[in-house]
A and B are shown apart, each in its own frame.
Chain A
Amino acid sequence: MELEMRGLTKRFGSFTANDDISLTIEPGEIHCLLGDNGAGKNKLMNMLYGLLEPTAGEVRLDGEPVTFATPGDAIEAGIGMVHQHFMLVPVFTVAENVMLGREQTRGLGVLDREKAAALVRELSERYRLAVDPHALVEDLPVGVQQRVEIIKALANEAKVLILDEPTAVLTPQEIDELMDIMRSLKEQGTSIVFITHKLREVKAIGDRITVIRRGKVVGTAPPSTSETELAEMMVGRAVKLTVDKEPARPGDVVMEAKDVTVIDPRGHTVVKGVSFEARAGEVLGIAGVQGNGQTELIKSLLGVIRPDAGRILVDGQDISAHGPRESLETGIGYIPEDRSHDGYVGAFTVRENLVLDLYRNDEFSKGFALRLDNIAKNAAARIEEFDIRTEDMDTPVSSLSGGNQQKVVVARELSRPLKVLVASQPTRGVDVGSIEFIHKRIITERDQGTAVVIVSTELDEIFALADRIAVMYDGRIVGIVSPDIAREDIGLMMAGAVGPADVAKEGTDA
């Protein structure tokens, strides 16, 4: 089935998200849509899928114009979508999620759960996506949840499958497996639209690559195009794909974790006796696929959750029992993984958010009264220093772009002297320009003598920033390696293929 987009445009008031996009997806091809965070690829696909109404333009299937008022129409026309943020109901089982919208019933609307489970098993075997139909989605690791998403789309017999940033939660090996699945789907005649911002992947799998920037199509390129060229098309200027940095000069151990164990509310041990050291002037990267305990480990470092066993020391002082407030006062800076959830208060203004964990300082408050003048001065200084793009300091942070929201959080944490900077997914959902800025600032902080701990699921980021890499799998650190390690090797560690008994020697020299 040929899918053609003609002049698709989407405007929100005076803002144009997609500008006159014309694109054809040939039957049986893997077409990659490459674009930076914020380029508009997501909104384009939402229009294709009936989630958004186009302001102008049309969509044609096999030459016939079609309109999708709702996703139901798109599904019926043969378009399936695997969303970046899973459209799965956490409290439902896998089978219930897959059957939602086209439920198998036993007459009178009574659900037929056996039939639904059988369908799931059948699809699971056909496409080699192993899932248990009766498992609750919220209990599943993220990689398995993605399989459910894919099965859901395939259950509707999609002729065109749209995959929106599917690899964020996969190990390198799982990414390869996904690509195999995509190739076999292609052989069976399904067209695939693969949306991503990762250059490596589009070159590996794409038949054709269309680059989108600021809502417009920049051009279509073959997979033989170099990464540098693609990056330039994506961003509009020459992009440095690596971070310039001096070799690290590690000093004393500033933060130490000893046998930290965390048990989640459901009784699973998610962090199993983790130990590591973070030194001043050095970046320790913690690599691993989402869902292997990194989130809980980081939260326990800060004191948001208390470790059930083990100790955390900063400069020799035991802070395991400290809450976030004391940890912050001990000199820890924290950039949380989910900024809208834990990083900033969306309804608060930029200036308020810039002192969210600092207002108790003498500089910003006297007794119970806030010092509004100093708060304003601070905001002005930070906005300038960190190039935060905002109308003014009184804009609510929720209306800033993702990159600028993250810059607010980073600015706040870096605006005081730190002993340790803990940053989790520091550039998730952030545009390339802001990524460069944030990475540079992190290195600057390192060079000032702060110990830096970075947790990231993006291997590229880990390789770019880290001086030492600890790999987490299944709640344990399976090894601490140097950034010279080969990609396949670290991929194996991230997948747990190398057991803890096989812990590598620490990286000797950089």
Chain B
Amino acid sequence: MGIVSTAVQTQGSAPQEPVVRDRADVRRQVKLVVVMAITTLLLLYFALSIDDPTVQYVLGERVSREFPPKDLAAGPVVWISFAVAAVALVLAVLNKVPKGWLGVLVYLAAGLAFYAGFIVWAYADQGEGFQAAIANPLPGTIEIATPLILGALAGVMCERAGVINIAIEGQFLMGAFFAAVFASLAFSAYMGLLGAVLAGVGLAALLALFSLRYLVNQVVLGVVLIALASGLTAFLLSQIPSDPEIRQYLNEPPRLEELPIPVLSDLPVVGQALFNQTLLVYLMYLSVAVVTFVLFQTRWGLRVRSVGEHPKAADTVGIKVNRVRWQAVLFGGVFAGLGGAYYTVGSTGSFDRDLSSGNGFIALAALIMGRWHPVGATFAALFFGFMWNLQSQLAFVDKIPGQLLGATPYLATIIAVAGFVGRVRPPAADGEPYVKS
């Protein structure tokens, strides 16, 4: 017949729950052990294969009068690194790696240990002749990462609102070109930044128009806008006469100067790297802060995110979905344009065909790796900048052939993505135009 009793029971005794480990958890541990094991073994190899244990290092970006080279005993460094990695390995095997912040510290320590060991090994045993010194990686990292971060921030704004932006590379190109032109015309690099912003926003307007008004598939649109920007800038470049008299007005822009910040730029190690940079870099710092704050602490930011995750829900509370999307895309255009400016007024000066050489795609990769979060994307871009800088510095040391070295940042990114980032979840409504039915 039915139940024995209908009396409401208070908490019945729960049966002894067997402690079952999530299958995915086991897999994670295995991956961690493998990675730590490889790290430790490599460090052991590094430690054992160093013959001459003295290397030189310099606190600045390169050897100069301000930064003389100093000696460093390589042996102890590598052995300590090995020890740190071994400890991490043991923790991983015993599944005792702490969760949360402490765990992150452990990973960071292991990573730093590997870096230290590797770099010392790479710079050791350089033989006769010119001795390259281990240089401060920070200044180069920041410089290279600046456009990547700006581009990624543009991507964050667009995609958090639900509009896929593959066209960052196109915005870079337009930004670079118009920065050069504006700066040349006005004889001011800062005017160039204005031109870059206008160009970035302009292409963003095209992105918004075609994706939100004409409902073009956003992936197609992104690729097309890159092709358009590439072709258009090449075309306009070819229209600039080679006559230097005229050329100086159009494509010979003054470059941004370094502006040291009074007290902060005197800090050891980080001072010069972080606080003696161009305005563009300072704008980049500001941008990261602004985007993070706006997106997570303001009303507009909440609406932007709602529109990217669940536009129907936003609509039902009266938010105008497409208007918010337009705003977000245009706002993002500012950063992408600035990122493009880096390639002309921020570094080399004149515009050349396809000057950003695909870095817009790296910014895109940083966006995905950073899981569509401004801070995450910033770290991903910094990681990339760091690897790139490392690779270009190691080129001075003959241990690994230059061309293969050039592949390391990309290989590192693949390893990072395959091993550590795994499946990423974009904003739920990313790429879907909102159409009221």
Which of A125-133, A247-255, A378-386, A481-489 lines the interface with chain B? Answer: A481-489
Any chain B CB within 8 A of the CB of A417? no
Q: Which residues of chain A from 260 to 278 have any CB-CB distance to chain B below 8 Å in the complex?
A: 261, 263, 265, 267, 269, 272-273
Any chain A CB within 8 A of the CB of B125? no
Q: In the complex, how many residues of chain A place their beta carbon closer than 8 angstroms to a beta carbon of chain B?
A: 60
Q: How far is the CB of B95 from chain A (nearest CB, A)?
A: 14
Q: CB-defined interface of A488-506 with B at 8 Å, one 1/0 digit per residue?
A: 1110110001111110110
Let me know if B313 and A504 touch, CB within 8 A.
Answer: no
Chain B residues lying within 8 Å of A482, measured Cβ to Cβ, are: 1-2
Let me know if A88 and B310 touch, CB within 8 A.
Answer: yes
Chain B residues lying within 8 Å of A479, measured Cβ to Cβ, are: 3
Q: Which residue of B lies closest to A70 (CB)?
A: B318
Bound complex: CA of A70 vs CA of B317, how far in Å?
A: 9
Bound complex: CA of A91 vs CA of B313, how far in Å?
A: 13
Bound complex: CA of A18 vs CA of B57, how far in Å?
A: 79
Bound complex: CA of A52 vs CA of B435, how far in Å?
A: 11
Chain A residues lying within 8 Å of B417, measured Cβ to Cβ, are: none
Which of B13-21, B247-255, B376-384 lines the interface with chain A? Answer: B13-21
Bound complex: CA of A96 vs CA of B303, how far in Å?
A: 10
Let me know if B320 and A70 touch, CB within 8 A.
Answer: yes
Let me know if B3 and A103 touch, CB within 8 A.
Answer: no
Q: A89-B306, A89-B310, A261-B20 are in contact. Are A71 and B316 (CB under 8 A)?
A: yes
Let me know if A52 and B300 touch, CB within 8 A.
Answer: no
State the main secondary structure of chain B at its contact with A. loop
Q: A269-B17, A481-B2 are in contact. Are A101 and B318 (CB under 8 A)?
A: yes
Q: Which residue of B lies closest to A73 (CB)?
A: B318
Cβ 8 A contact of A91, one of B8, B297, B309, B314:
B309
Q: How far is the CB of B296 from chain A (nearest CB, A)?
A: 9
Q: Which residue of A lies closest to B14 (CB)?
A: A500
Chain B residues lying within 8 Å of A269, measured Cβ to Cβ, are: 17, 20
Which of A105-113, A192-200, A279-287, A403-411 lines the interface with chain B? Answer: A105-113
Q: Which residues of chain B from 144 to 177 have any CB-CB distance to chain A below 8 Å in the complex?
A: none
Chain A residues lying within 8 Å of B4, measured Cβ to Cβ, are: 502, 504-505
Any chain A CB within 8 A of the CB of B428? yes
Q: Which residues of chain A from 65 to 91 have any CB-CB distance to chain B below 8 Å in the complex?
A: 70-73, 75, 81, 83, 86-91
Cβ 8 A contact of A499, one of B6, B12, B317:
B12
Bound complex: CA of A396 vs CA of B298, how far in Å?
A: 43
Q: Which residue of A lies closest to B296 (CB)?
A: A111
Any chain A CB within 8 A of the CB of B11? yes
Q: CB-defined interface of B4-34 with A at 8 Å, one 1/0 digit per residue?
A: 1110110111110110111111000000000
* Most chain B C-beta atoms within 10 Å of own C-beta, residue among A101, A486, A504: A101
Q: Which residues of chain B from 169 to 201 have any CB-CB distance to chain A below 8 Å in the complex?
A: none
Any chain B CB within 8 A of the CB of A214? no
Any chain A CB within 8 A of the CB of B436? yes
Let me know if B17 and A272 touch, CB within 8 A.
Answer: yes
Let me know if A103 and B302 touch, CB within 8 A.
Answer: yes
Chain A residues lying within 8 Å of B428, measured Cβ to Cβ, are: 90-91
Chain B residues lying within 8 Å of A508, measured Cβ to Cβ, are: 1
Bound complex: CA of A499 vs CA of B9, how far in Å?
A: 6
Let me know if B315 and A51 touch, CB within 8 A.
Answer: yes
Any chain B CB within 8 A of the CB of A92? yes
Q: A101-B318, A499-B9 are in contact. Are A504 and B3 (CB under 8 A)?
A: yes
Any chain B CB within 8 A of the CB of A306? yes
Chain B residues lying within 8 Å of A102, measured Cβ to Cβ, are: 317
Chain A residues lying within 8 Å of B18, measured Cβ to Cβ, are: 261, 273, 309
Chain A residues lying within 8 Å of B319, measured Cβ to Cβ, are: 72, 100-101
Let me know if B310 and A87 touch, CB within 8 A.
Answer: yes
Any chain A CB within 8 A of the CB of B299? yes
Q: A71-B315, A110-B298, A502-B5 are in contact. Are A265 and B309 (CB under 8 A)?
A: no
Let me know if B3 and A96 touch, CB within 8 A.
Answer: no
Bound complex: CA of A83 vs CA of B313, how far in Å?
A: 10
Bound complex: CA of A269 vs CA of B25, how far in Å?
A: 13
Chain B residues lying within 8 Å of A49, measured Cβ to Cβ, are: 316
Chain A residues lying within 8 Å of B24, measured Cβ to Cβ, are: 265
* Most chain A C-beta atoms within 10 Å of own C-beta, residue among B1, B22, B297, B317: B317
Q: Which residue of A lies closest to B20 (CB)?
A: A309
Q: How far is the CB of B312 from chain A (nearest CB, A)?
A: 6
Chain A residues lying within 8 Å of B22, measured Cβ to Cβ, are: 263, 267, 308
Q: CB-defined interface of A458-485 with B at 8 Å, one 1/0 digit per residue?
A: 0000000000000000000001011011
Cβ 8 A contact of A308, one of B23, B303, B306, B437:
B23
Q: Which residue of B lies closest to A152 (CB)?
A: B317
Bound complex: CA of A97 vs CA of B303, how far in Å?
A: 10
Let me know if A110 and B297 touch, CB within 8 A.
Answer: yes
Bound complex: CA of A105 vs CA of B5, how far in Å?
A: 53
Chain B residues lying within 8 Å of A87, measured Cβ to Cβ, are: 310, 312-313, 316-317
Q: Which residue of A lies closest to B293 (CB)?
A: A110
Let me know if B318 and A75 touch, CB within 8 A.
Answer: yes
Chain B residues lying within 8 Å of A71, measured Cβ to Cβ, are: 315-318
Let me know if B315 and A70 touch, CB within 8 A.
Answer: yes
Q: Which residue of B lies closest to A268 (CB)?
A: B22
Chain A residues lying within 8 Å of B437, measured Cβ to Cβ, are: 52
Q: A482-B2, A488-B6 are in contact. Are A101 and B300 (CB under 8 A)?
A: no
* Interface residues of B, Cβ cutoff 8 Å to A: 1-6, 8-9, 11-15, 17-18, 20-25, 297-300, 302-303, 305-306, 309-310, 312-320, 428, 436-437
> Can you spell out 29 A-B residue pairs with CB atoms less than 8 angstroms apart?
A49-B316, A51-B436, A70-B318, A87-B310, A87-B312, A87-B317, A90-B428, A91-B309, A100-B313, A100-B317, A100-B319, A101-B317, A105-B298, A109-B298, A111-B298, A263-B20, A267-B22, A267-B25, A273-B15, A308-B23, A482-B2, A485-B3, A489-B3, A492-B3, A497-B9, A498-B8, A499-B11, A502-B9, A508-B1
Other A-B contacts than A103-B302, A272-B17, A493-B3, 9 sampled, CB-CB below 8 A, are A73-B318, A92-B306, A100-B313, A111-B297, A273-B17, A309-B20, A499-B9, A499-B13, A501-B12
Shortest 5 CB-CB distances between A and B: which pairs?
A499-B12, A72-B318, A101-B317, A485-B2, A87-B313
